[in-house]
Amino acid sequence: MAVSFGLRFFIVVLCAWLIGIIVGFQYLSARASFLVVTLKIGIVVLYTTSLADGSWYTGGDDWGYIVRSVDLYLKNVNPLAIWFTPEGQHLHAFPNAALLKWYNSSLFYIFGPSYYVGLMFFPTLSMVTGVFVVRLLRSSGLTELGSKIGVIFYLLHWDTITWTSFLNLKEPIVTCLLFCALFGASLIPKNIFASIAIIGASFFAFQRIRFYFPFLLTTGICLSILSHYWNRVSVKYLIVSAIAGISLIGIALATKLINPSQILYAYQLADLENVAYGFAKSLLSPLPWKITGPAEYLLISSTLHLILLPLTLVGAWFLFRTSLTGKLIVFTWIVGLAAYAVQPMVLSPRHLAPIRALEILMQFRILVVMFELYCLNLSATHGGK
């Protein structure tokens, strides 16, 4: 339900706004950061104070996470220490939502329990995601200015706004970790040790919020490396790289960064007979005309997704051709769609949201290509006069 604009609400908004601007300063100008964060926070403020009436929800999961977060908050244990105390055993017993419950309970510890507290900081978290997005854009070959425009496009994109403005769910955290891991993978040619450290840290965090993503990312990373270097290096180097890759996967399995029992369980639930239908559904879902009342917040984003899908696919091709980073983004997207295609139990807009976030970079790539073609055509036209 809508909340009143009291002192506590004002303090929460102010803190989320200030932190978001500070994070934005790291890769945007002061003016751009101010405008982007103000707009993003403003949407959440407008929704929570005027529009929220309880009609938008997703299977009750959001309120379930809040209730369990309140349970952690009531234990009155320092959020940094609760992972190592008996009061925090629930986080280890049910790890697949542990990070979101810890996120909410930590904010409750500072501001007091309320549904909107965690929601208000999701735009701020998306600014953190922007740190990785802008670096991925640079690594894919864009200029400094192009990367800044691209990250603004990402931050104000309808999909980003949809999943960081209305519901208190895992998706903003999962998306941030996804881009963090991809950024780590993009460092492989430059700094393998930093790359392994970043990927390992993100995989560890994934085990506390969405356990199967390390497997999807590992598959996407391996396919990207093979595709990128296949015709560029000697067979000996490829063999050594394959052995190193298998060894790293073995370490990840041994340390439970990738849990083999969870992968086996997912395989047992897979619907391999209807994979074509599942892939089409994962690519097109959700269809705007099938959206019901509780999910009406998806109406705008789902409509634009279908309209722009041809451009997205073309953008994926252009992005794939740019660099290793482009291949990482596109292969991870394909692997993600394929994985959800064979898992009908989790094939939903909510679970697809982090994969959809990768499409934003594909859409921006095709916009860049179209702009470059326009400039070339304009230059040729004036040059011929």
Q: Which pLDDT score, from 0 to 100, does residue 174 have?
A: 97
For residues 8 and 11, give the distance between their C-alpha atoms in angstroms, rounded to a whole number.
5
300-335: pLDDT as tens digits: 999 999 999 999 999 999 999 999 999 999 999 999
Q: Give 272's pLDDT tier (boundaries 50, 70, 90).
A: confident
Peptide bond into 344 cis (omega under 30): no
Is the confidence at residue 198, as pLDDT, over 60? yes
Burial pattern 37-47, b for ≥16 Cβ within 10 A else e, equals: beebbebbbeb
Angle at alpha carbon of residue 31, lines to 30 and 37, rounded to 5°: 90
Which amino acid belongs to residue 328? L
Question: 180 near 200, Cβ under 8 Å?
Answer: no
Q: Which pLDDT score, from 0 to 100, does residue 236 have?
A: 64
Residues 7-34 have a mean pLDDT of 96
For residues 238 and 230, give the distance between their C-alpha atoms in angstroms, rounded to a whole number.
8
Is the confidence at residue 268, as pLDDT, over 90? no
Q: Which pLDDT score, from 0 to 100, does residue 233 have?
A: 63
- 């994926």: which residue's tokens? 316
Burial pattern 211-230, b for ≥16 Cβ within 10 A else e, equals: bbbbbbbbbbbbbbbeebee
Is the confidence at residue 96, as pLDDT, over 90? no
112-160: pLDDT as tens digits: 998 899 999 999 999 999 999 999 999 999 999 999 999 999 999 999 9
Which amino acid belongs to residue 80? L
Q: For the chain, how many helices (H) and strands (E)?
A: 18, 0
For residues 108 and 90, give the distance between their C-alpha atoms in angstroms, rounded to a whole number.
17
Q: Kindly report the pTM of this predicted structure.
A: 0.93
Q: Which pLDDT score, from 0 to 100, does residue 148 have?
A: 97
Is the confidence at residue 247, as pLDDT, over 70? no
Write the CB contacts of 216 (distance below 8 Å, at least 6 apart in sequence): 332, 335, 336, 339
Is the confidence at residue 103, as pLDDT, over 70? yes
293 vs 234, which has greater pLDDT? 293
Write down the mean pLDDT value for the chain: 89
Other CB atoms within 10 Å distance of the CB of residue 1 = 7
- What DSSP designation does 50 have? I
